[in-house]
A and B are shown apart, each in its own frame.
Chain A
Amino acid sequence: MKEKKSYDVILFKAVSYALKAEKILKKEGLPHKLIPVPKHISSDCGVCIRFEPEIKSKIEAALFNKVDVEELRTLEN
């Protein structure tokens, strides 16, 4: 509501993948945030990783071939 801008999230098949990705992004020093999967995407109690669209390519490069990513989505806030 406050931030009108959109942001990107990475969705994973399982929580363990999200954790693995979080560890890698932390190590790489890429800003991100673990958040609950927004309700309108899934009603499961899942987590996903949110990040600023500007570093999308860096995030993708960091996780490429390391973590199984289910989907990358842009969300309107």
Chain B
Amino acid sequence: MADIKIIDARGLSCPQPVVLTKKALEDNARVTTIVDNETALENVKRLAGKFGFAVTVEPKGKSVYEIHIVRGADFNKDQDFVASCQTGAAPSGPFVIAVTEDKMGRGNDELGAVLIKAFLHTVAGQAKKPDVMIFYNTGVTLTVQGSDVLEDLKQLESEGVQILVCGTCLNYFEIKDKLAAGVVSNMYDIVETMSNAGRLIVP
């Protein structure tokens, strides 16, 4: 059995632990990295995940972890990995998703309609849910009766996600009475929510 290369990354600042781990994996089939903080742990785990390597984590006391990685067969060492070095908690301010259309992306509308459905379904199933979702322009049509994504939106709502639907837009399409998920909102709330967002995603 091949030797295990041990990288002691305690005391090193991000992205050093992950850089050293990746480097070690280039020459060693088995690497154990010792880290002393959660950011490094997540980054090294993500690195292993991205390349599809088997990874096990052994907690060793307060914030210290031994991460055991077994390199897979198809390792493309030229592939980049970007460590996320944000320290501490997530960016302050709510996580907001703005649904600006009844489709996702530009180019083909039929395809875009499929993608937005898949997107919202995936958001609903994800552990990291947005705090607020804003729907405007043709995006509002996703929130009314007959929409294919109502089930997902209602689920998100029931789990505490605030859904703001542009009233002007509902009015324009004459579907205000058909609203089935979320609450009618206005430009003041929309601008305020966007301005205070820690992260804003537009699919």
- The answer to whether B114 and A33 touch across the interface, beta carbons within 8 angstroms, is no
**Chain A contact residue count (CB 8 A cutoff):** 8
On chain B, the residues within 8 Å of A36 by CB distance are 118, 121-122
- The answer to whether A35 and B111 touch across the interface, beta carbons within 8 angstroms, is no
On chain B, the residues within 8 Å of A34 by CB distance are 114, 117-118, 121, 148
In the complex with contacts A15-B111, A19-B110, A47-B118 CB distance below 8 A: yes
Task: Report B82-96 CB contacts with A as 1/0, cut-off 8 Å.
Answer: 000000000000000
- The answer to whether A47 and B148 touch across the interface, beta carbons within 8 angstroms, is no
In the complex, chain A residues 20-73 whose Cβ is within 8 Å of any chain B Cβ? 33-36, 47
In the complex the two chains form, what is the Cα distance from A3 to B135 in whole Å? 27
- The answer to whether B114 and A18 touch across the interface, beta carbons within 8 angstroms, is yes
Residue of B nearest to A1 (CB): B125
In the complex the two chains form, what is the Cα distance from A61 to B176 in whole Å? 38
In the complex the two chains form, what is the Cα distance from A14 to B110 in whole Å? 14
Which A-B residue pairs are the 5 nearest by beta carbons?
Answer: A36-B118, A35-B121, A34-B117, A47-B118, A36-B122
22 A-B contact pairs sorted by A residue (CB < 8 Å): A15-B111, A15-B114, A18-B114, A19-B110, A19-B114, A33-B121, A33-B148, A33-B151, A34-B114, A34-B117, A34-B118, A34-B121, A34-B148, A35-B117, A35-B118, A35-B121, A36-B118, A36-B121, A36-B122, A47-B114, A47-B117, A47-B118
- 4 new A-B contacts, CB < 8 A, other than A33-B151, A34-B114, A47-B117, are A34-B118, A35-B117, A36-B118, A47-B114
